[in-house]
Structure 1
């Protein structure tokens, strides 16, 4: 979700997703209820206000937020700030904008940035820091990140050795959607290794099924689901260290590691025996929208669909998404049952002001308190915050995602195309893999993407 290059995909991915507010009884943290600016329909639970007293008297101060998160997903965000506002007397002003990814850079360069921006991509974060307008995170925020997040997450918020931005929300991309009832009726078991995934796929073929369904059509962003497929397999076949070098172009895009990864994807998606259940042949993947593809699981015409946690938003509201429901998901396994590579995306909290109220707000957002408050208010949201209790998640997929992220064996890597130069990540990578699924060979595909890398 996914940054300037992923903005189109994030909007279509979340289209129709509803974030549900949960009402709590509010006990004022500091001062009486009147100091909070009036009553609200959706209230939040009380929190310990002690961590914010260190920032001094903040009553009457204002913090502005700028983000790409818009209605209806913005409602639980706004509600999650209420405990902080009650504690401190600070007013948080929220501005959501679908053009955020381009406009935030314009505003920063013009000297008119917000106090805080939710940046959905490490590459964009680096660009914003390069303007000279961003400020390093306060030590209180950094201490929270050291306590509640892994080093990999902290690294994505660090530029030139200086820590700027704490992680906010995240989503898990390494998921495979399936029908629990079909698995039960057919005696299938959830695979725990890549070899077991291949064995399961072949068993489904033997049972006269087309196991996989896939779609990559997404308007101007057509092709992005294939980049996720390749990144997931790059993590699994080449390992996280090589993945990092590939993303940074320290190894060529068309090298042997990338070739093996794309060929591994092709082993599934370019195999006519495996795809495209209920939709057509291999080439139908290019003309099928990613939103529609996984719905075939409910019809029984396909059995498996690799897509991120946010895909839950595409099922009808009457669909039961649970381990014993109409549809659910399992973790896309690694080479063995102990390694847990996880492809993710998410947002980071970058400040452009170092006023006490801004520092206090950054500290709140990086805390376990905020993560659990937000979890209770949202559906379709998760965080990698280690202080998050998965039992606070609103639905089974969110709980599954949180459990994956919080697994001590998890090796998290950010969406590679969102960190590559735009000429590659949201242009050549999308277009060339689309050509690949419709017949272009692997070598030509990767050679063309390599040629697109800026010199």
Structure 2
């Protein structure tokens, strides 16, 4: 190792004591420089909080490994199923992660208006398409504050190819380790989108259309008729006891006498089944919802910057690039392959994967999950209302009471000037108009 040369000392004649002190100081300074040169410089690090655990975390770590190798930056990833609570606690403690990944646009909107988020770098903003990443006006400035890392298609019904998607009992499971009730809110959102169109859907999702409007009320009633034909609530009641993944974690879709034959669920459900699973749009599985709009509900996992550092900017830029997406796509079995806002090519031959990509890119309108867009308290009230509704889906008085409560909650947020996501629906990148 080459020792750094000792710095020169200023000449101070006549005073031997002063000269001796100066020489000692210079020697100590030289030793300090030598020690600094010998010490190994710590690698910069980025902390990331996200929703992926288990095998999903393992595949994401493959992407992070490529980043570590390329940039020499360490990444500390923490995956949790209690994302909202963990992030809120960290923010309140003044120690948020550098980057957080979450699906709630309503939560992200609140964090942005509270000054907790950093606007995205220009390169990332350009890769952050609608409807997943709308611009927000914060302090009279328009900026984009989050970017979709991966996305999912909704508005589809899964079935086995040898069984019709138009017949058979519905697979229903309202339980979830995170927030129970969302499989039901997905149903209501999709029905409203297909019956009333993207414009009405967006008005409702952004708090402008009352819950007791005829369009929203009819969406709930339509779902009640689908899951409780003839007024029987047996199947609906059973959904309250079922996890959306099946209580054995192997999925609800009928295989060996499970009692249901078709499932309304997002594209992530493929990971619970074999490669022979197929889907059709909800509008084909439920004839009364048929229309020519070619509109789909979508969801996504959004990355946002809570700390503005060179390392955090490098990582969020990397995660939205094609090389990282291609690495992620190759790192997992086909049935667990992630989807992105734009295609990065076909990795594997599973029919469902190709069909999902073609549906996302070929739609005329994509609309983000409405409950993900709502303020967190309203989102939670919506999910709870779904669970209460399932106790008696044919009870009109019960429904009116639930809708009134949701209208009250919406008014409360408006009275508090709570921020809302400004837009929900858009054409896909390179898609319809």
TM-score range, shorter chain: 0.7 to 0.9
Indicate the SS of the match to 1:296. coil
- Give the structure-1-normalised TM-score: 0.70
- How much has 1:398 moved relative to structure 2? 3.8
Relative distance call for 1:250 and 1:61 in structure 2 (3 A) is same
Partner of residue 435, structure 1? 388
CA distance in 1, matches of 2:236, 2:341: 39
1:255-312 CA distance string (max 9 Å, x none): 1110121222223112149x89xxx544433344433373325538433221222223
Conservation of the 8 A alpha-carbon contact between 1:144 and 1:363: no
CA distance in 2, matches of 1:361, 1:381: 21
- How much has 1:107 moved relative to structure 2? 2.3
Conservation of the 8 A alpha-carbon contact between 2:82 and 2:178: no
Structure 1 residue ranges without an equivalent (≥5): 1-57, 184-189, 191-199, 202-209
Relative distance call for 1:220 and 1:64 in structure 2 (3 A) is closer
Matches within 5 A, 1:40-439: 60-145=43-128, 149=129, 151-155=130-134, 158=136, 160=138, 161-183=142-164, 200-201=166-167, 210-218=168-176, 221-272=179-230, 280-292=234-246, 294-299=252-257, 301-315=259-273, 320-322=274-276, 327-333=277-283, 338-379=292-333, 380-389=336-345, 391-392=346-347, 395-407=350-362, 409-427=363-381, 429-439=382-392
Relative distance call for 1:296 and 1:159 in structure 2 (3 A) is farther
Relative distance call for 1:423 and 1:112 in structure 2 (3 A) is closer
- How much has 1:421 moved relative to structure 2? 3.2
Relative distance call for 1:398 and 1:357 in structure 2 (3 A) is same
Structure 2 residue ranges without an equivalent (≥5): 1-40, 413-433
- How much has 1:371 moved relative to structure 2? 1.6
CA distance in 2, matches of 1:453, 1:295: 35
CA distance in 2, matches of 1:332, 1:93: 40
- How much has 1:338 moved relative to structure 2? 4.6
Partner of residue 446, structure 1? 403
Indicate the SS of the match to 2:101. strand
CA distance in 2, matches of 1:354, 1:220: 29
CA distance in 2, matches of 1:350, 1:216: 29
- How much has 1:167 moved relative to structure 2? 0.7
Indicate the SS of the match to 2:373. coil
